[in-house]
Amino acid sequence: MAIRPILIAGDTRLTTPAVTVTAFDSELAAFVDDLYETNTAAHGAGLAANQVGDPRAIFVYDLIDDTRRHRGHVINPTLETSPLPETMPDPDDLEGCLSVPGERYPTGRAEWARVVGVDIANNPISVEGTGYLARCLQHETDHLAGHLYLDRLVGRNHRAARKMIKRRQWTDPGNAWVPGADRDPFGW
């Protein structure tokens, strides 16, 4: 297993839709292990393959929601949600991202989500939840569609994020951080 560098906003690999996984082999299993290890080292709730520069449609998640731990992976996911909110998100409803290190913005998400896909052995799986788990499922499938959570921001939050990206000079590809080696951008 290996901890992989996490790409930062501005890298075009984060905005390129993922490709369907067709090879279910030991390399895939090892890669999923790397995603888990990288996510753990980064103190993340989830990590998509394109966040470490891999184009395949895979994500892992590992989070605690209402004292219950949710941990798993989904390959070739499809997402279903309850209706998305149509108003400004609550200012305390903050979302972060390992590819937008150290930043959090209010982000409206559906309260319920289900992801259907397969596991590393190509067996069908389905994961559904509410609250934090639902947010994570939506966030990670957004990554695989080539979207950062910043794309979902509205109004003043959207403007603030655009200014932050310019200020941090995240407009060029190639920026990354390595969990466990670089300073933890979230201060955990």
Q: Which of 37, 95, 103, 140 is catalytic?
A: 140
> For this structure, is 103 an active site residue?
no
Annotated binding-site residue? 143: yes
Annotated binding-site residue? 70: no
Rounded to whole angstroms, the Cα distance separating 145 from 23 reads 20
Annotated binding-site residue? 136: no
Q: Which long-range contacts (CB under 8 A, 24 or more apart) does 111-114 make?
A: 111/82, 112/81, 112/82, 113/79, 113/80, 113/81, 113/82, 113/137, 113/138, 114/79, 114/80, 114/81
Rounded to whole angstroms, the Cα distance separating 148 from 97 reads 8
Known catalytic residues are 140
Q: Residues within the annotated binding site for Fe cation?
A: 97, 139, 143
Q: Residues within the annotated binding site?
A: 97, 139, 143
